[in-house]
Structure 1
Amino acid sequence: MGTTINLQIEHEFSHYLLNEAKKRLLDYEKRFSANDANSLLMKVNQSAGIEAVAVDPDIFELIKIGKAYSVDSSNTLNIAIGPLIKLWKIGFSDAKVPTQAEIDERLTLIDPNLIQLNDEKQRVYLERKGMEIDLGALAKGFFADQIKHFLKKAGVKKGIIDLGGNVLLLGSHPINPDTLWRVGVQNPFMTRNNLAGLLNVKDKSVVTSGIYERTFVYNGEEYHHIFDSKTGYPVKNNIASLTIVSKESLTGELYTTMYYKAEAHDIIKQINQIQDVEAVVITKESEILITHGLVNDFIKVD
């Protein structure tokens, strides 16, 4: 998954449960990967324009959720974005700025409406050859939620599932007197572990998306990895990072991607209208904006 994973729980059989959780995460990575030619997801992509492919129920579920949100062109989420991601290759050593002709060609392959789903047979068909589904914007949240359900079913009442930029907390903190967990919000203008603030949360998910880790510079201009499906270029706005606090991690993944196209104050205004979802937005001008529900739970770090 391209990140460091940290799992901690409080339970009599913690070693067994953590090993099982690790096995499940490795299995998810193997089956859902858009970069492993042997993954089940890649079998779908390799069969684009040729035939429908039967997939596992969990992959089908996530593709179905992803498509439902992707067909709304007003947001940034698009699980059919794969061909564009692999054209730019931002985050890899061979990243480049493609030609306009290359971008225009890929734009014809990233329409989520061309993903056909057969609920009865759990089959996925991509209508055009060259199409590719990429679940990277959703997968970690989905995985975290699945691991949480497994651990809670096993009787775990306290723990942390940290999938790098995606933190899901089980229950209350075992030591802190106020029972709240402290989750750091990265300062997007400084190196890792330099914080812009701390969130006090309990039994919540904290997901952050930003333009500060996967970037490259060409001819003096910086490009990041969050793309606009209409233009084929990285999204242009005043957002440096967006953090979502919610009950489920998948919700956080969806919202950090969906809302990244909006302007900072609009994000706060819209999230304030959504029950059980909160946000922290850091702009490129270093302004920190928070939703009403976090007024007493966000501590700015000077």
Structure 2
Amino acid sequence: MKLNTTLSIVLFFVVYSISAQNIYNKSTKQMGATVDYAIEAATKEEGEKYIQIAQKEIDRIYNLISSKISNSETSKINNSAGIEPVEVSQEMIDIIKRSIKISELTNGYFDISFASVKKVWKFDDLMNSMPDAESLTTSVEKINYRNIEIDEAKKTVYLREKGMKIGFGAVDKGYAVESAKRKLQKLGVKSGFINAAGDRTSWGIHPKNGKWKTFIGNSENDGNTLWFTLENSSMVTSGNYKSFIGKNGKKYTHILDPKTGSLISGIQSVTIFCADAEMADALATSVYIMGIQKGMELINKLEGTKYLILDSEGMIYTSKGLEFSKQ
């Protein structure tokens, strides 16, 4: 569904009712982003304890899968590409297997082996020229999720070609907030909301409002702000609001096409709504790369999943039945 309305640029915020009894809030810097917590608890001390537990879980995920950490399992896999298999945790194997399923679902538009292509791009205004065609062609030679070999019995992962690299930038925050949520649920936390730079997940009933409320827009009071309610669900946005290169009047996002190595333009943001933030994270990236038409066709086939796409002109495309309001 295409809406005849405009929205200039998309940033992400989540609204927490500070006056709501038994909701405890905290914002932290983790995984290179701002992570906001709103947790229901009986006392302030209990709320702080639960938030600390969630923080530790997100830090654990980052230490496990970040390629920026030299001894992470991701780095060990990348360093042994084309050399030998690496023994890893079952958790890492499961993350990779889920990522490969998304690659198959999207016909390769989503691919965690994209990491090798990023060396030809710098996501700031210091880049004076775009990479040439030869550089881009070379950069994608190692991208192929089919060359990720998993041995379940030995618990090993092997990248078949030297120079291959995997990276989880398209799912890491989604997976992290889902993991933190599950940990708190097991401890009996009735409800909460975690937002990692636009990767948001909620559970339970907000003690004051019933449902958790969040928005997409420049600010809380912007007339173009779009408001959503979430109930035991997740919402993830990918877009060019943060990392981009501006060239010839266009903004090129930090998201790369794994088939060509090229940057993407024409879409400001893609927001995906579904039960799981990791899945929403992967799908938001995939739709951004696939483009509006192919992306809508993909999401329309997935039960319980909806989209909101904002193109470069500010036009909104949304799933049938997706409810939101302007304030």
Residues 273-292 of structure 1 mapped to structure 2, 5 A cutoff: 273-292=301-320
CA distance in 2, matches of 1:127, 1:266: 31
2:141 to 108, 112, 120: 108
Per-residue CA deviation, residues 42-69 of structure 1 (Å, 9 max, x unaligned), is 0110111111101112111111111222
1:147 to 180, 197, 207: 180
Partner of 1:202: 231
- Letter paired with 1:168: T
- Letter paired with 1:202: E
- Letter paired with 1:8: A
CA distance in 1, matches of 2:129, 2:155: 37
Per-residue CA deviation, residues 84-128 of structure 1 (Å, 9 max, x unaligned), is 123313269779733333222221111111111111122110111
**Structure 1 stretches lacking a partner, 5+ long:** none
- Letter paired with 2:54: A
Q: 1:89 to 1:123 in 2, by over 3 A?
A: farther
Partner of 1:67: 100
- Letter paired with 1:210: G
Q: 1:86 to 1:239 in 2, by over 3 A?
A: same
Per-residue CA deviation, residues 212-269 of structure 1 (Å, 9 max, x unaligned), is 2110235665432111122110134x32111111111112112112222334355345
CA distance in 2, matches of 1:147, 1:89: 32
Secondary structure at 1:4 match in 2: strand
Residues 167-186 of structure 1 mapped to structure 2, 5 A cutoff: 167-176=200-209, 179-186=210-217
Q: 1:269 to 1:76 in 2, by over 3 A?
A: closer
Residues 120-135 of structure 1 mapped to structure 2, 5 A cutoff: 120-135=153-168
Tell me if the contact between 1:91 and 1:225 (Cα under 8 Å) persists in the aligned partners. Answer: no
Q: Percent identity?
A: 29
Q: 1:255 to 1:54 in 2, by over 3 A?
A: same
- 1:70 CA drift (Å): 2.1
Secondary structure at 2:123 match in 1: coil
2:281 to 253, 264, 280: 253
- 1:15 CA drift (Å): 2.1
Count, aligned residues? 293
1:23 to 34, 52, 56: 56
- Letter paired with 1:257: T
- Letter paired with 1:211: N
CA distance in 2, matches of 1:92, 1:57: 40
TM-score, structure 2 normalization: 0.82
- Letter paired with 2:299: I
- Letter paired with 1:205: S
- Letter paired with 2:287: Y
Q: 1:48 to 1:262 in 2, by over 3 A?
A: closer
TM-score, structure 1 normalization: 0.88
Residues 27-46 of structure 1 mapped to structure 2, 5 A cutoff: 27-46=60-79
Q: 1:298 to 1:219 in 2, by over 3 A?
A: closer
- Letter paired with 2:212: W
- 1:192 CA drift (Å): 10
Q: 1:263 to 1:196 in 2, by over 3 A?
A: farther
Q: 1:75 to 1:48 in 2, by over 3 A?
A: closer
Tell me if the contact between 1:95 and 1:216 (Cα under 8 Å) persists in the aligned partners. Answer: no
CA distance in 2, matches of 1:42, 1:259: 27
Q: 1:73 to 1:287 in 2, by over 3 A?
A: closer
CA distance in 2, matches of 1:156, 1:96: 51
CA distance in 2, matches of 1:43, 1:232: 24
What RMSD, in angstroms, separates the aligned Cα atoms of the two structures? 2.4
Deviates more, 1:44-53 or 1:257-266: 257-266
- 1:148 CA drift (Å): 1.1
Secondary structure at 1:276 match in 2: coil
**Structure 2 stretches lacking a partner, 5+ long:** 1-30
Q: 1:91 to 1:110 in 2, by over 3 A?
A: farther
- 1:184 CA drift (Å): 0.6
Partner of 1:157: 190
Deviates more, 1:254-263 or 1:27-36: 254-263
Tell me if the contact between 2:114 and 2:167 (Cα under 8 Å) persists in the aligned partners. Answer: yes
Partner of 1:300: 326
